[in-house]
Amino acid sequence: MKTDYPSSVDSSGFFYKNPALKIKEFIAFLSTRFGLIFALNMQSTILYYWVYHITNSKLSLGFVGLAEVIPAIGCSLFAGHFVDQSEKRKMVVKCLSGYLLTAICLFLLALPLTEKSISTSLIVYLIYFFVFIGGILRSFFSPSMFSLFGLIVPREHFANATSWSSMSWQMGAVLGPLVAGIFIAFFGIPFGLVAIIFIIILIYFPIFKIEIKPILKREKEPILFSIKEGLKFVIQTPTLLAAQCLDMFSVLFGGAIALLPVYQKEILHVNEIGFGALRAAPGIGALLTLGLLAFLPLKTNPGNKLFICITGFALSIIVFGISTNFYLSFAMLLLSGMLDAVSVVIRSTILQLVTPDAMRGRVSAVNTMFVSSSNEFGDFESGVMANWLGTVRAVVVGGCLTLGVIAFTFVKVPQLRNFTFDDKKEE
């Protein structure tokens, strides 16, 4: 591991508070993470806009999420097994190549010649198909990056590195939708999709700056036994299981991002730039909070802070749901992102601290199945609920259900609310 230390380190200086940034490979890791999240959020924003405006169907938005959640759940456990027995950087490169091919296919699908040659319904089905492929890729990419993180960053710097890793993710989540909105408004969908291709190509440069890492789990074992061991570890670790379930249900019920095209067109009545701003608002809020955490790192009572922030997240989503004012809606999405950022750092640090090195792929795969997939399944749930109850009722009911999940977890899992970053790995 290569770490460059300044000639003189101020005990109150920036790098003293952020030691992870002195690791060259971690900087390359952050660049890779930012680049891909930027590209995928830009792609997701364009696809949701594209599908809704050619179908004018709320339910079709839900199916975009469902198309990704099916492979994310179905492949995650198997992906974790293969990631644990593979070289991590090589696996990341393979996933990038898959994302690049998918981006090229979506660009070709958006060309005017293609739209004239095939029906609208076939275009929508092909979009779902390529989103499905993206879900398969993510089931391998997420545990690969999680495992790579643990091989690059020393354990004592996990909390600090997690904050910066989350910040790189949020920067991509903020800038991707904003840039997508600009491309949609001024250049059109095909130009936005071709830009994504070039962005993914650029990501190859930082990832190859990370050296090949050792494979910690070399012994071969039956795949079903390997998967069982990963699931068993998560189930027998109450803090980890509760954190994953809490995040899964809060995102499942409290997510409103998939319905933003409806809010843009039918409730808030704003243009494409306004849509991009709303889509990016949670990320902007998260970025602001993560910037503060670089100078005021989380150290005390992380468990209680987790519950406070997720409760605030649910309340902000409820207010957003009933708002008909663009500025109030933007503010509530901004606040939801600020609160969610704190909970993301706490949950991610818990995941890193309690997971043994040889099981990182499988445990991260379970995390992907529990947490990451809930984003897309939440999109599907939002689309179905909006189609059934109406858009506003769907968002408000989802926020209320999230509050119920928070209260249940707070009472039933004292280990989570009492968790500290000093807790032992063997907890």
Q: What is the pLDDT of residues 56-75, one digit of tens each?
A: 877 787 788 778 778 877 77
Residue 255 scores a pLDDT above 70: no
Question: How are the residues of the chain apportioned to helix, strand and coil, as percentages rounded to the nearest 5?
Answer: 85, 0, 15
Q: Residue 199 has what pLDDT? A: 95
Which among 411, 61, 417 has a CA at the least distance from the CA of 255? 61
**Tokens 């209260």 appear where?**
407
Angle subtended at Cα 147 by Cα 142 and Cα 148, rounded to the nearest 5 degrees: 100
For residues 320 and 39, the model is more confident at: 39
Token pair belonging to 141: 């990419």
Q: Where does the pLDDT of residue 96 fall: very low under 50, low under 70, confident under 90, or very high at 90 and above?
A: very high
What confidence category does residue 43 fall into, taking pLDDT thresholds of 50, 70 and 90? very high
The number of residues in the chain equals 427
d(CA 129, CA 343): 33
More confident residue, 273 or 404: 404
Q: Looking at residue 107, what is its pLDDT?
A: 94
Read off the pLDDT of each residue in 87-101 and give the average, rounded to a whole number.
Answer: 93
Q: What is the pLDDT of residue 7?
A: 45
For residue 32, pLDDT over 50 is answered with yes
DSSP code string of 23-56:
BHHHHHHHHHHHHHHHHHHHHHHHHHHHHHHHH-
pLDDT at 98: 95
pLDDT of the residue at 371: 65
Question: Structure pTM?
Answer: 0.71
Average pLDDT, the chain: 80
**Percent of the chain having pLDDT more than 90?**
19
User: Which of 85-94, 220-229, 268-277 has the highest average model confidence (pLDDT)?
Assistant: 85-94
- CA–CA distance, 151 with 147 (Å, rounded to integer): 7
Residue with more model confidence, 232 or 7: 232
For residue 4, pLDDT over 50 is answered with no
> What is the mean predicted confidence (pLDDT) over 378-396?
74
